[in-house]
Amino acid sequence: MLFHHVPLLTFRVCLLMFLALSSPHLSVPPEPNFAVTLTPSSTPQVTGDPTELACHVTNITHFLAGGRLGVAWEYTPLPGPPGDRLTTTQTTLPIGSLDAHGNLKSGTLYHDRLESGAIVLTRVEPDTFKLRFLRTQDVDMGAYACSVTAWTPSRQGGMEEAAEFLTPPLTVRWEPKRPSLTAVAQRVREAVAGGATFEMSCTISHVHLQDPGYSVLVQTQDSVDSATRTVLSLSPDSVLQHGGATDPNRRDSLVLTKTVRLSSASVWPECSRLTGASTGVISPPGPNNQARPGPKLSAPSPTRSRSTSRKLAPRSLWPSALTPPLCIPGRPPRWCVPSASLEHPPSQVGDDTHTLIRL
């Protein structure tokens, strides 16, 4: 009797195991499903304005506990003129990505800008990612998209990709406006004789320029036809250097300062003030012949971008401003301060906006 019951018991155990393996509770779980939208948080109106795009994940279903989201950003240039390989190919370029653990991977052409902080990728919420340009360049105009990947725990203990969704492209563009500069030179104090103090100022106003930095170059000449000699120069970082026209023994007789103020027209005029105790050679004051430059102006640091392979535009294309010359009356020949000219690289060549001023 016992011998006949063993096969029956074995059959029932096998049947229960078969039913357990075929149970829907042990089947492969469905893939995560969600929706991804791309919206602009901040759009540029002119070159140099910030840009911020937000990638939102909504309606998440079938997302296992311990799952994580990652994001990848990509860019497609706008159609360019024939012959411009960078834009006519319409190739999608990877900007950067954040994996399941938040590790940043930079695209080849955006590596330097991401490293310098000019471009920032962040996860502000578990389901929201942002792409931010601190200063948007003309070469950044184009179509952007974000791709969100769902990562779930794997049987091996790591994370594996379970699903990926790409947003429709979002176009970012604006009408480029040519920057311009205006310079006005004025006498502040006249020099009536040799050894008297002469003071002049040069006020600069700019439009369509984002936080430009200026450098000052002071030159003089004996007459209109004579060679121009450099007195001194001041860099955007307030580093002052003397030129060959400065007598080393009289460097304590000149002051060069830079000030910034806000006008009623919401334009930032920048004023360079030159004071000298001689109608001839002018040199800066300070103990032990140390320069005393004015307040330091904030100037954006040069950054690399995918346009770094391009050459700067010809100097003739830079915005410029010209003031009438100022002459210092005194012993012949008359000492004239040449026209004050300003030069500024066009904004599309990058973030370096140093300007040259000749007084």
What residue spans define the domains of the chain?
35-80+88-172, 180-261
More confidently predicted of 359 and 7: 7
Average pLDDT over residues 104-113: 95
Selection from 147, 153, 131, 164 nearest residue 53 by Cα:
131
Q: Which of 248-252, 273-277, 327-331, 333-337 has the highest mean pLDDT?
A: 248-252
Token digits for 321? 């401003």
Using pLDDT thresholds of 50, 70 and 90, give the confidence band for residue 309.
very low
Residue 160 has pLDDT above 50, yes or no: yes
Per DSSP (E only), the strands in 78-208 are: 93-98, 104-106, 119-125, 128-133, 142-153, 159-166, 170-172, 180-189, 198-207
Residue 52 has pLDDT above 50, yes or no: yes
Residue 208 has what pLDDT?
Answer: 73
- % residues pLDDT > 70 (the chain): 60
Query: What is the overall mean pLDDT for the chain?
Result: 69
Residue 19 has pLDDT above 90, yes or no: no
Token digits for 43? 């759009």
Residue 137 has pLDDT above 80, yes or no: yes
Using pLDDT thresholds of 50, 70 and 90, give the confidence band for residue 189.
confident
CATH number 2.60.40.10 given to 35-80+88-172: yes
Distance in angstroms (rounded) separating the CA atoms of residues 298 and 310: 26
Average pLDDT over residues 296-321: 35
Average pLDDT over residues 54-74: 87
β-pairing verdict for 213-220 and 354-358? parallel
Residue 17 has pLDDT above 80, yes or no: no
Question: What is the SS3 assignment for 166?
Answer: strand
Average pLDDT over residues 128-157: 91
More confidently predicted of 224 and 95: 95
Average pLDDT over residues 38-43: 95
Average pLDDT over residues 85-105: 81
Residue 61 has pLDDT above 90, yes or no: no
Residues 6+ apart with CB under 8 A from 313: 345, 346, 348, 349
Per-residue pLDDT tens for 211-223?
A: 677 777 777 877 7
